[in-house]
Structure 1
Amino acid sequence: MATVLRWMTLGIGLLMVGGTLLNFSRSPHWFVRGWDYPRIQIALLTAASGTAYALWFSQGTALEWLFVAATAGCALRQIWKIFPYTSLAPVRVQQSKGGPARSTVRLLVTNVLMENAQHDRLLQLIRESDPDVVLALETDEVWARALEPVRRTHPHVLRHPRDNYYGLILFSRLPLLEARVEFLVQDDVPSVHASFEVAGERVFLYGLHPRPPEPIRDQDSTPRDAELVIVGRMIGEADGRPTIVAGDLNDVAWSPTSELFLRLSGLLDPRMGRGLYNSFNADNRLFRFPLDHVFHSNHFRLVELQRCGHIGSDHFPMLIELSYEPDAPAEQAETESEAGDAGEAQEKLEEQADAASTGQDRPERE
């Protein structure tokens, strides 16, 4: 039994170390990108396996100490990536100071899960949370009909239901200056492009739900990465407009692509210094990741950020209230770009163009 436990401990530790090393690759393959997600779980497993081996199985050989050192380095690497999203880290977005100059916008973003029939739970959440803007993702015609009562309080609507898990509906009580659906990368994956006024300033909203990498249908991350790069570039080239990006990005906050998106766009992540806000999987406490995001420009301070309760979906809705404050940019700088960002972004776009030309940007088994 001791021998079996020893080899199990070695196997778990080596697997986690290997997955951590794969994180350094830019490959879009689902197996590589899948290791971006469970950083907390990897940190715990490597720490546990290295500690257990050192205490109970090690005979002091050089290879054994190398294994213990590798697991320690792996755990530290994962903690370093997660740390900015803990309450121990500095807050990236300042709390609103309030006062007469404050004008707020309250946004609810929710992946409803298309086959979820518990429509009333979302309707109740909308009534109770009282958002100015609602972005509902994975909405088909059934969900579109179920959400019709929202029009009474949020009459400005952009409606694009689909039965392929990529439908979306935008409800707003604020008049929409523009509202359109665009297909940035693939003709069956829409995105929202809208704007409205807050404190006399035009605020631009992008609602996204790109196709995820997944093993079941052998889908890599190429189209997702390309969509984030396209939107990040659009925002970065728009010369400092008040901007909000919201949606189920099918990517974690600490992934290389999410980090590249922030650097390209200059946007801020209000979770930094506050917590992980894991939104998926709502039905599995052991494997939850922050897939539902709200990023924003430095024109806003934070009033409230909340992960809402279960609505029957596999995602928890996210609620955020932002305050447009003219002096905010002086206290919270944009996310800075790094050398090599432009080249990495272009590489992702070229990968998508190559994949699209051969049809390899689509799931193998739809």
Structure 2
Amino acid sequence: MFSTIVPFIRHDYWVFRVFEYPRLQKLVLNIILFLGTLLMAFPKDVPGYVVLIGLAINLIYLCYLVFPYTPLAKKQIITTKSPSGPSNLKILIANVYQENRQSHQYYKLIEQCDPDVILLVETNLWWQNQMEAIEQKYPYQLKAPLENTYGMVLYSRLPLSGEVKFLVEQDIPSIEAEVILPIGQPVKLYCLHPQPPVPQENPRSTERDKEILMIAKEAKNCQLPVIVMGDLNDVAWSYTTDLFGKISGLLDPRRGRGFFNSFNAKYFFLRFPLDHIFCSGDFSLKSINRLSSCGSDHYPMCVNLEYAPQAEKKNEIPVATQEERALAEQKINTPTDQL
């Protein structure tokens, strides 16, 4: 129960934020404790009943939080059943794990997925050189290879233009680009990989939250269809990601379909949805798939979207309250030298 209460403390220090991640794990543990108490240690006094009631309340609350990411919930973005065509944009995102050397596995993955756009993160010069093998098929590229595990490269077989930016920290890049669909429609792409709030990386979530919310504001004001993608180092249900959705008005294909936990590929009991693709309401979803890990600690994600302006009337567009907009502005306007 303690781990469920801690995330209510809106503090940026990692000790408070890390408990947002294991929601499903907390639910499974709560079910085991609740059933174990009922079957093996049924309460016989007031303190025992207090514990049992507390476990029941915690279980109900966790089920409420998990429900939107189950197939039983309403889908935030509608499904299209039409065959893929010139209005579709298939995207592959993958955190390759910088020290991983199984680049040949990614060639097979790309051939299998056959995406229009590929975003690879944790890419250094070695990975950039290895990926030269796909450049003939994906002639449009934006590259920011780095040795600090925050490099990224973007490949496209569709016309692509844009730039690498450093929004919050001088060594943490992002990419802002426009890709042109075969029907002639430009789509704005934002690619992110901010630092996670963990002691060995950054003890606070301040910088990560600021970068995510800056992009949320830009996406909201953009006149083009928008897609935000990357390893956000934040779970789909966290307070920050929820705020991102409301500020940006972008949709999460996971909602109503499943968790699609992308990290950690090496430990089945510690998996969270960290790799994301969000889109504006003028898209419908053809498919979303978690692919094989290819030696990384992340599973790649492949999402096939269809540009369909009529879908905006059917999609569940999130909306921010005035209080939430004010909070986002406060986080965005935090001076960098105070971070």
Residue type at the aligned position of 1:68: L
TM alignment of 1:4-15, pairs within 5 A: none
CA RMSD of aligned residues (A): 1.6
Kindly indicate whether the alpha-carbon contact (under 8 Å) linking 2:264 and 2:272 is maintained by their aligned counterparts in 1: yes
Q: Are residues 1:265 and 2:248 paired?
A: yes
In structure 1, the partner of 2:3 is 19
Which of 103, 127, 138 pairs up with 2:87? 103
Sequence identity percentage: 37
Residue type at the aligned position of 1:346: E
TM alignment of 1:110-125, pairs within 5 A: 110-125=94-109
In structure 2, the partner of 1:312 is 295
In structure 1, the partner of 2:273 is 290
In structure 2, the partner of 1:34 is 18
Distance of aligned partners of 1:218 and 1:163 in 2 relative to their CA distance in 1, 3 Å threshold: closer
Residue type at the aligned position of 1:130: D
Q: Are residues 1:338 and 2:318 paired?
A: no
Kindly indicate whether the alpha-carbon contact (under 8 Å) linking 1:270 and 1:295 is maintained by their aligned counterparts in 2: yes
Residue type at the aligned position of 1:21: I
Greater alpha carbon shift after TM alignment, 188-197 vs 217-226: 217-226
| Higher CA-based Rg | 1
Kindly indicate whether the alpha-carbon contact (under 8 Å) linking 2:251 and 2:317 is maintained by their aligned counterparts in 1: yes
In structure 2, the partner of 1:73 is 57
Kindly indicate whether the alpha-carbon contact (under 8 Å) linking 1:158 and 1:170 is maintained by their aligned counterparts in 2: yes
1:118-144 deviation line (CA, Å, top 9, x unaligned): 010011111221111000000000000
Give SS of 1:105's match. strand
Q: Are residues 1:357 and 2:325 paired?
A: no
Q: How many Å separate the matches in 2 of 1:213 and 1:86?
A: 27
In structure 2, the partner of 1:325 is 308
Distance of aligned partners of 1:217 and 1:162 in 2 relative to their CA distance in 1, 3 Å threshold: closer
Q: How many Å separate the matches in 2 of 1:59 and 1:96?
A: 51
Give SS of 1:272's match. coil
1:310-339 deviation line (CA, Å, top 9, x unaligned): 210000000011111131112214211223
Greater alpha carbon shift after TM alignment, 328-337 vs 276-285: 328-337
Residue type at the aligned position of 1:28: D
Give SS of 1:304's match. strand
Q: Are residues 1:187 and 2:187 paired?
A: no
Residue type at the aligned position of 1:357: D
Kindly indicate whether the alpha-carbon contact (under 8 Å) linking 2:76 and 2:316 is maintained by their aligned counterparts in 1: no
In structure 1, the partner of 2:191 is 207
In structure 2, the partner of 1:196 is 179
Which of 153, 156, 159 pairs up with 1:169? 153
Give SS of 1:23's match. helix
Q: How many Å separate the matches in 2 of 1:51 and 1:78?
A: 15
Residue type at the aligned position of 2:337: S
Kindly indicate whether the alpha-carbon contact (under 8 Å) linking 1:87 and 1:274 is maintained by their aligned counterparts in 2: yes
Q: How many Å separate the matches in 1 of 2:37 and 2:84?
A: 60
Kindly indicate whether the alpha-carbon contact (under 8 Å) linking 2:195 and 2:202 is maintained by their aligned counterparts in 1: no
Residue type at the aligned position of 2:321: E
Greater alpha carbon shift after TM alignment, 333-342 vs 132-141: 333-342
Q: How many Å separate the matches in 1 of 2:312 and 2:150?
A: 34
Normalised by the length of structure 2, the TM-score is 0.95
What is the CA-CA distance between 1:346 and the residue it aligns to? 2.5
TM alignment of 1:118-267, pairs within 5 A: 118-176=102-160, 178-198=161-181, 199-217=183-201, 219-239=203-223, 241-267=224-250
Residue type at the aligned position of 2:80: S
Q: How many Å separate the matches in 2 of 1:95 and 1:208?
A: 26
In structure 1, the partner of 2:76 is 92
Structure 1: gaps (5+ residues): 1-16, 362-366
Normalised by the length of structure 1, the TM-score is 0.89
In structure 2, the partner of 1:6 is none
